[in-house]
Amino acid sequence: MTAQRPQESATATTALPCVSSPLYDLIVVGGGPAGYLAAITAAEQGLERVAVLEATPEPLTKVRLSGGGRCNVTHACWDPTDLVRHYPRGSRPLRGPFSRFACGDAVAWFSERGLELVEEADGRMFPRANRSDAVIQCLQRASLDAGVQLHTGSPVRGLVRCAEGFQLEGSGRPSLPRSSWQARRVLLATGGHPSGRKLAAGLGHRIIAPLPSLFTLALDAPGLTACSGVALDDVELELSLPGGRWQQRGRVLITHWGLSGPATLRLTAFAARALHAERYRGVLTVRWLDGLSPEQGVAVVRALRHDQARRTLAAARPCPDRLPRRLWLALLEQVGADPQRRWADCPAAWERALAQALPASSYSIRGRGPFGEEFVTAGGVDLGEVNLATMESRLVPGLHFAGELLDVDGVTGGFNFQHCWSSGWLAGQAIAAALTT
């Protein structure tokens, strides 16, 4: 993707006089998970004047909506080397940060503040209360205990360097009073909202153009619409584009427009930029029956013709314990076979087509599905311009970043939240250390 780099202005290099307003040690722009953890950490480490500015009336909205209202806080992935493999963008640079604060540290952090996380069979971790309100209450309680000030309905439209550090300017819209703040240090943690990217770009930072990640695929496969709601495990997906091939294996969900489910979301996350470049067109090969080779496909169909000769194609399907009946009927339609024809009367052309479709069926991709997953985007502040040990800008001393604003995104399963916790904690620790030593 092309990157956006504005021409540097005087505000990026010149320290302007500050206007009269209270001076904070740290102002966090964005009341999401990364911003909250950074503010709490900095305050707990000794900073007395910490504030969070949230543009909306309610902070932590993404936490509330996550996991269908349950909040997938993190993942039971304890080795940082394994953890980074779940990040299509940022995997190698995150090795250092995750060696200091990873999934086990996040579990311990919440446990120390009264929130117990429990692991599900697939490794995802949720609050024992099984509701996102428990996570929000934990963060808000820790914030209050640490003395963090929260200002909702406070969008930040301007950020410039000044003699004391930074000057932040509020909306100035008729419906909102114009406000200004001063801070010795500023953390931008605005998630995928464009406001944070605009502020970072205004201070000279290179922005990797954002685009969707974690999305479903719309397929040109009318026969699959009758299978909407069918879920299968251990399905292998292979995406073919001019720029390369991507593979994933796991659970898929057939929808009325195509494919969803964890394996699909992982596939689209890793291929997000290539798919965008091809305008979400390509070929998806689906191996519905894990481990079934082309030779075995031929043998399975021949066995049905021999052993189930008097039954119809609809009544006698291959691998009935693994292949749902609705999907088998869709495959029959896909190859043009009459489901009411007996196996004994099955033409050789149908037999060959079914033997090929069982091991691998190919579908044309005609776009993205109608819904994203957790509103995750790929893109943001270029990681090369950030010291990931402290989350501090390499261009603007005293300016820090955390969370989705950075060019980092993870797959589904709690990994995006984990990056928020890790980057927020590292930023809070570094800011407190810089201002208290």
Domain that holds residue 131: 3-212+373-436
φ and ψ at 338, to 5 degrees? -80, 115
Alpha helices in 336-414, H assignment, sequence order:
348-357
Reading the block at residue 182, the tokens are: 């001063």
| The pLDDT value given to residue 374 | 42
Domain identity same for 208 and 140: yes
Count of structural domains, the chain? 2
Domain identity same for 187 and 50: yes
Distance CA 341, CA 339 (A): 6
Last residue of a domain, one of 341, 372, 403: 372
Domain identity same for 386 and 363: no
Angle, CA 166 vertex, CA 165 and CA 169 arms, to 5°: 160
Domain identity same for 410 and 377: yes
Domain identity same for 94 and 193: yes
Alpha helices in 308-414, H assignment, sequence order:
325-335, 348-357
Distance CA 331, CA 359 (A): 11
Domain identity same for 367 and 311: yes
Alpha helices in 317-382, H assignment, sequence order:
325-335, 348-357
Contact between residue 125 and residue 67 where contact means Cβ atoms under 8 Å apart: no
Half-sphere exposure of 70 (CA within 13 A, CB side): 17
| The pLDDT value given to residue 15 | 53
Domain identity same for 52 and 160: yes
- The CATH number for 16's domain is 3.50.50.60
Domain identity same for 314 and 351: yes
Last residue of a domain, one of 372, 403, 420: 372
Distance CA 312, CA 316 (A): 6
Which of 425, 396, 423, 430 lies closest to 409 in space, CA to CA? 423
Q: For the chain, give the number of residues.
A: 437
Which of 21, 29, 22 lies closest to 54 in space, CA to CA? 29
Domain identity same for 205 and 305: no
Last residue of a domain, one of 372, 397, 424: 372
Residues ≥6 apart with Cβ < 8 Å to 90: 84, 383, 406, 407, 408, 409, 419
Residues ≥6 apart with Cβ < 8 Å to 299: none
Distance CA 97, CA 93 (A): 8
H or E element at residue 172: none
Reading the block at residue 236, the tokens are: 């292998």
pLDDT in tens, the chain (437 residues): 445 544 433 334 345 555 557 899 999 999 999 999 999 999 999 999 999 999 999 999 999 999 889 999 999 999 999 999 999 999 999 999 999 999 999 999 999 999 999 999 999 999 999 999 999 999 999 999 999 999 999 999 999 999 999 999 997 554 555 689 999 999 999 999 999 999 999 999 999 999 999 999 999 998 898 899 999 999 999 999 998 999 999 999 999 999 999 999 999 999 999 999 999 999 999 999 988 999 999 999 999 999 999 999 999 999 999 999 999 999 999 999 999 999 999 999 999 999 999 999 999 999 998 865 445 889 999 999 999 999 999 999 999 999 999 999 999 999 999 999 999 999 999 999 999 98
| The pLDDT value given to residue 206 | 98
Contact between residue 286 and residue 259 where contact means Cβ atoms under 8 Å apart: yes
DSSP letter at 104 equals H
Domain identity same for 137 and 235: no
Domain identity same for 195 and 324: no
Domain identity same for 50 and 65: yes
